[in-house]
């Protein structure tokens, strides 16, 4: 995923051993199969001080969900998802109850596979977690839950036709990471508890339904002008990776195993921007082994999607804000593809180790970019990443606990630069010391030996010491534990090549000295170079300099959302009134939290001038944002006590 998420750290943890993560066959396991494998699936559980996910109510060492079978109806008129979830359970001998995660689910009944009612209780709500559902299963190892999700389920966003690109049909999308899927699926919602799943989904014509699983074939007509779609994931995945989207979307093939879904009015631009996807998959395989998920498809969602991308298996969810017309922002696609290895194949066991997903993926992303677009672009994007680390450390301090890769208990969140960028630079540093050939061999075996399993920082550290480090002298040079567990930035960091932005930095210095602009140079620069220039020029500009900058570089009319965002943020920070209509339009058209939250924060920092504008714009735009975005912006706009 291209964004940071923040979660509480664990005090005690449970690490599921390899046997608990064995790939299960496609289709629902029957109760006899589940009972037979129950002891093998649950018994070999290790207690570890850095591994339990404290954001789940589940007790997987006693009973855990291994397969989810959904039969759901999508009701757009009432903004409701409901139906039945059949859960296959592996449990210790004698275990007679299972605990599931819920956040607002309305449970009508729970039965065993013979139709007998099973008692259940819904516990008290815990802020940030929802409420536990405790089910007395007796000796049942398959249960059926009839339920509805709440209209305001946090994972789901229901869009009216007016909120889509086509403007004719409604749209539904989900975003489950890290703990939102418990708002629409009754299961154990933890990245350490891997599950296979299948789904039968009914939706009104002419909408198409896609999920993060492979299609079972063409939809089947059903009464009431509806169609039924069947989908399945036969690989065990973390529950947050179950995703759904439904709307007026069509498919365009990009290669033998790649393609894109999008609204008809978007599909041509999306397909052009994503033309390199098949090459990216091949490049990723050359680096770190086979792609194990069958197909790699994507869906370009309406602009309300709160993240740049979400790595849902076989169906990456993408924001349309990456469409620049020149493929300059396709590092996003490389990032989400890389998650097919780091994140989806090997998953952090809990959210305190989210750098294992995002940092490893950010490193992998840069390697894909290097193979497809060349070393110069890869070096420039890596330099932008390093600047983000430096900016964060300058803001929060080198000793801030939240700047460690493994997030300590109750550390204040510091944003994405640590888990994404510092994580990537940790691996870049290791590579620079041991050499690329040896590093690549180690990382490939990490993916191979931990495929379809949860992992922790402690596991990766031990694996590096066992399978990568040659001797004690090299171990001291690598400073592995310091990188993972200590705040700040170790002194052995492999800094970016200063030549990556030499020309741009010189131009920024020239502008700082005498406000000199080279329009021809700007026109020839890559997007990374333009972003670097906008980040390096002075933050304080006046009412003469701002319009001159805008006019010379045509910033307000930019079709590149990364560049437009940087310009609007700079302009609003200087209370530049002519930029307000452009910011208002941008905030009305884009729901990506990376852009939306900082612009509102900048406005709120500008005294009454900015706060008045922020509240006026947010009153209009809030209904079009996903709960992930509104949860952040609501807090920003609250009056300070």
DSSP codes joined into one string, 415-444:
-HIIIIIIHHHHHHHHHHHH-HHHHHHHHH
The per-residue pLDDT for 48 is 63
- Longest CA pairwise span in the chain (Å): 81
413 pLDDT band (50/70/90 cuts)? Answer: confident
**Given a cut of 80, is residue 24 above it in pLDDT?**
no
Please compute the mean of the pLDDT values over residues 113-117 and round it to a whole number.
Answer: 96
18 pLDDT band (50/70/90 cuts)? Answer: very low
Please compute the mean of the pLDDT values over residues 123-128 and round it to a whole number.
Answer: 96
CB of 24 closer than 8 Å to CB of 64:
no
**Given a cut of 60, is residue 42 above it in pLDDT?**
no
Nearest Cα to Cα of residue 238 among 66, 81, 101, 87? 66
Measured between alpha carbons, how far is residue 18 from residues 45, 192, 449 in Å? 9, 11, 10
The per-residue pLDDT for 409 is 72
369 pLDDT band (50/70/90 cuts)? Answer: very high
**Given a cut of 80, is residue 23 above it in pLDDT?**
no
Tell me how far apart the alpha carbons of residues 61 and 57 are, in angstroms, rounded to a whole number: 12
464 pLDDT band (50/70/90 cuts)? Answer: very high
Tokens found for residue 221: 């007509």
Helix (H) or strand (E) holding 532: helix 527-536
The per-residue pLDDT for 640 is 57
The answer to whether residue 219 sits within a structural domain is: no
Check residues 59 and 640 and name the one with the higher pLDDT.
59
Please compute the mean of the pLDDT values over residues 497-512 and round it to a whole number.
Answer: 96
CB of 69 closer than 8 Å to CB of 28:
yes
> DSSP per residue over 300-317, as a string?
E--TT-SSSEE--TTEEE
The per-residue pLDDT for 145 is 98
CB of 431 closer than 8 Å to CB of 288:
no
Give catalytic status of residue 365 as yes or no: no
Please compute the mean of the pLDDT values over residues 573-601 and round it to a whole number.
Answer: 97
CB of 8 closer than 8 Å to CB of 61:
no
Give catalytic status of residue 425 as yes or no: no
The per-residue pLDDT for 1 is 83
Q: Mention every residue, 6+ apart, whose C-beta is less than 8 A from residue 551.
A: none
Q: What is the 3-state secondary structure (H, E, C) of 239-263?
A: HHHCCEEEECCEEEECCCCEEEEEC
The answer to whether residue 121 sits within a structural domain is: no
The answer to whether residue 576 sits within a structural domain is: yes
Please provide residue 283's backbone torsions phi and psi, each rounded to the nearest 5 degrees. Answer: -65, -40
50 pLDDT band (50/70/90 cuts)? Answer: low
Measured between alpha carbons, how far is residue 627 from residues 299, 316, 319, 622 in Å? 20, 20, 15, 9
Please compute the mean of the pLDDT values over residues 570-599 and round it to a whole number.
Answer: 97
Strands 346-348 and 453-455: parallel
Tell me how far apart the alpha carbons of residues 72 and 90 are, in angstroms, rounded to a whole number: 24
DSSP state of 600: H
The per-residue pLDDT for 411 is 81
Tell me how far apart the alpha carbons of residues 103 and 97 are, in angstroms, rounded to a whole number: 19
Please provide residue 252's backbone torsions phi and psi, each rounded to the nearest 5 degrees. Answer: -135, 120
Query: Which member of 288, 296, 307, 420 is catalytic?
Result: 420
32-36, 398-402, 461-465: least confident range:
32-36
- Domain of residue 606 covers 539-637
The per-residue pLDDT for 597 is 97
Tell me how far apart the alpha carbons of residues 339 and 289 are, in angstroms, rounded to a whole number: 13
Measured between alpha carbons, how far is residue 626 from residues 152, 386, 590, 632, 633 in Å? 11, 30, 11, 10, 11
The answer to whether residue 246 sits within a structural domain is: no
Cite the DSSP H helix spans in 118-273: 267-273
Q: What is the pLDDT of residues 227-253, one digit of tens each?
A: 999 999 999 999 999 999 999 999 999
Tokens found for residue 172: 């539904």
Give residue 639's Cα distance to chain centre. 30
**Given a cut of 50, is residue 379 above it in pLDDT?**
yes
DSSP state of 497: P
How many other β-carbons are positioned within 10 Å of the β-carbon of residue 392? 21
Measured between alpha carbons, how far is residue 614 from residues 44, 300, 337, 583, 599 in Å? 54, 28, 36, 10, 9
What's the pTM?
0.92
The per-residue pLDDT for 415 is 87
**Given a cut of 50, is residue 167 above it in pLDDT?**
yes
Q: Mention every residue, 6+ apart, whose C-beta is less than 8 A from residue 169.
A: 161, 206, 207, 247, 248
**Given a cut of 70, is residue 613 above it in pLDDT?**
yes
410 pLDDT band (50/70/90 cuts)? Answer: confident
Number of domain units in the chain: 1
Check residues 10 and 71 and name the one with the higher pLDDT.
71
Tell me how far apart the alpha carbons of residues 611 and 639 are, in angstroms, rounded to a whole number: 10
Nearest Cα to Cα of residue 379 among 336, 331, 418, 441? 331
- Contacts of residues 357-361 at CB distance under 8 Å and 24 or more positions apart, as own/partner, are 357/1, 358/1, 358/4, 358/416, 358/419, 358/420, 358/423, 359/405, 359/419, 359/420, 359/421, 359/422, 359/423, 359/424, 359/426, 359/427, 360/423, 360/424, 360/427, 360/443, 361/311, 361/335
Mean pLDDT of the residues in the chain = 92
CB of 301 closer than 8 Å to CB of 319:
yes
User: Whole-angstrom distance between the N-terminal and C-terminal Cα of the chain?
Assistant: 34
The answer to whether residue 278 sits within a structural domain is: no
The per-residue pLDDT for 34 is 36
Calculate ∠ Cα 227-229-232, nearest 5°. 170
**Given a cut of 80, is residue 30 above it in pLDDT?**
no
The answer to whether residue 196 sits within a structural domain is: no
The answer to whether residue 556 sits within a structural domain is: yes
Query: Which member of 336, 365, 431, 563 is catalytic?
Result: 336
Residue 609 is part of a domain; what is its CATH number?
A: 1.25.40.320
The answer to whether residue 282 sits within a structural domain is: no
Please compute the mean of the pLDDT values over residues 581-594 and round it to a whole number.
Answer: 97
**Given a cut of 80, is residue 301 above it in pLDDT?**
yes
| pLDDT more than 90, % of the chain | 90
DSSP state of 30: P
**Given a cut of 80, is residue 6 above it in pLDDT?**
no
- Residue holding tokens 């500008």? 606
The per-residue pLDDT for 44 is 34
Tell me how far apart the alpha carbons of residues 338 and 330 are, in angstroms, rounded to a whole number: 13
3-state DSSP assignment of residue 571: helix
3-state DSSP assignment of residue 382: helix
**Given a cut of 50, is residue 455 above it in pLDDT?**
yes
**Given a cut of 60, is residue 460 above it in pLDDT?**
yes
19-23, 139-143, 153-157, 364-368: least confident range:
19-23
**Given a cut of 90, is residue 36 above it in pLDDT?**
no
- Strands, E assignment, 288-362: 296-300, 309-310, 315-318, 346-348
Please compute the mean of the pLDDT values over residues 333-350 and round it to a whole number.
Answer: 97
Tokens found for residue 196: 């296979």
């Amino acid at each position: 995923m291209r964004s940071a998420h923040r979660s509480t750290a664990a005090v005690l943890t449970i690490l599921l051993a390899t046997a608990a993560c064995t790939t299960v066959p496609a289709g629902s396991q029957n109760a006899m199969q589940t009972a037979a494998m129950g002891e093998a699936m649950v018994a070999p559980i290790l207690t570890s001080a850095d591994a339990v996910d404290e954001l789940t109510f589940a007790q997987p060492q006693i009973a855990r969900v291994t397969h989810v079978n959904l039969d759901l109806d999508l009701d757009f008129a009432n903004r409701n998802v409901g139906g039945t979830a059949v859960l296959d359970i592996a449990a210790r001998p004698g275990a007679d109850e299972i605990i599931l995660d819920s956040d607002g689910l309305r449970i009508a009944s729970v039965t065993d596979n013979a139709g007998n009612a099973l008692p259940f209780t819904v516990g008290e709500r815990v802020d940030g977690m929802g409420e536990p559902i405790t089910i007395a299963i007796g000796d049942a190892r398959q249960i059926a839950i009839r339920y509805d999700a709440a209209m305001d389920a946090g994972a789901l966003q229901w869009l009216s036709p007016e909120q889509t690109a086509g403007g004719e049909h409604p749209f539904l999308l989900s975003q489950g990471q890290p703990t939102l899927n418990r708002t629409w699926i009754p299961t154990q919602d933890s990245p350490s508890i891997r599950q296979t799943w299948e789904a039968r989904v009914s939706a009104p014509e002419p909408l198409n339904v896609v999920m993060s699983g492979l299609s079972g074939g063409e939809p089947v007509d059903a009464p009431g002008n509806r169609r039924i779609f069947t989908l399945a994931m036969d690989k065990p995945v973390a529950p947050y990776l179950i995703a759904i989207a439904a709307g007026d979307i069509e498919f365009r093939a990009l290669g033998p195993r790649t393609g894109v879904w999008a609204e008809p009015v978007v599909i041509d631009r999306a397909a052009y921007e994503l033309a390199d996807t098949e090459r990216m998959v091949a490049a990723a395989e050359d680096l770190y082994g086979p792609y194990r998920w069958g197909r790699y498809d994507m869906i370009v969602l309406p602009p309300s999607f709160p993240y740049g991308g979400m790595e849902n298996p076989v169906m990456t969810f993408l924001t349309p804000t990456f469409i620049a017309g020149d493929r300059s922002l396709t590092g996003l696609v490389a990032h989400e593809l890389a998650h097919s290895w780091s994140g989806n194949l090997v998953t952090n066991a809990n959210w305190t180790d989210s750098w294992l997903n995002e940092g490893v993926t950010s490193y992998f992303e840069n390697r894909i970019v290097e193979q497809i677009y060349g070393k110069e672009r890869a070096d420039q994007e890596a330099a932008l990443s390093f600047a983000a680390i430096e900016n964060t450390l300058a803001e929060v301090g080198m000793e801030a606990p939240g700047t460690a890769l493994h997030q300590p208990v109750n550390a204040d969140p510091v944003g994405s630069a640590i888990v994404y960028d510092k994580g990537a630079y940790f691996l870049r540093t290791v590579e620079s010391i041991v050499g690329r050939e040896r590093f690549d061999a180690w990382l490939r075996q990490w993916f191979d030996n931990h495929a379809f399993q949860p992992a922790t920082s402690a596991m990766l550290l031990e694996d590096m010491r066992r399978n990568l480090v040659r001797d004690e002298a090299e171990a001291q040079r690598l400073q592995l534990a310091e990188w993972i567990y200590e705040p700040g930035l170790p002194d052995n960091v492999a800094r970016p090549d200063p030549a990556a932005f030499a020309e741009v930095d010189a131009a920024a210095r020239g502008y700082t000295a005498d406000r000199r602009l080279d329009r021809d140079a700007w026109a020839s620069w890559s997007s990374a170079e333009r972003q670097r220039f906008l980040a390096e020029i002075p933050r304080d500009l006046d009412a003469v300099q701002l319009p001159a900058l805008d006019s010379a570089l045509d910033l307000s009319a930019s079709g590149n959302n990364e560049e437009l965002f940087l310009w609007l943020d700079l302009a609003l920070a200087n209370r530049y009134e002519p930029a307000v209509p452009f910011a208002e339009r941008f905030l009305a058209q884009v729901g990506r939290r990376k852009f939306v939250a900082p612009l509102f924060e900048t406005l709120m920092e500008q005294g009454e001038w900015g706060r008045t504008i922020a509240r006026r714009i947010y009153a209009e735009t809030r209904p079009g944002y996903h709960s992930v975005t509104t949860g952040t912006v609501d807090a920003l706009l609250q009056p300070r006590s």
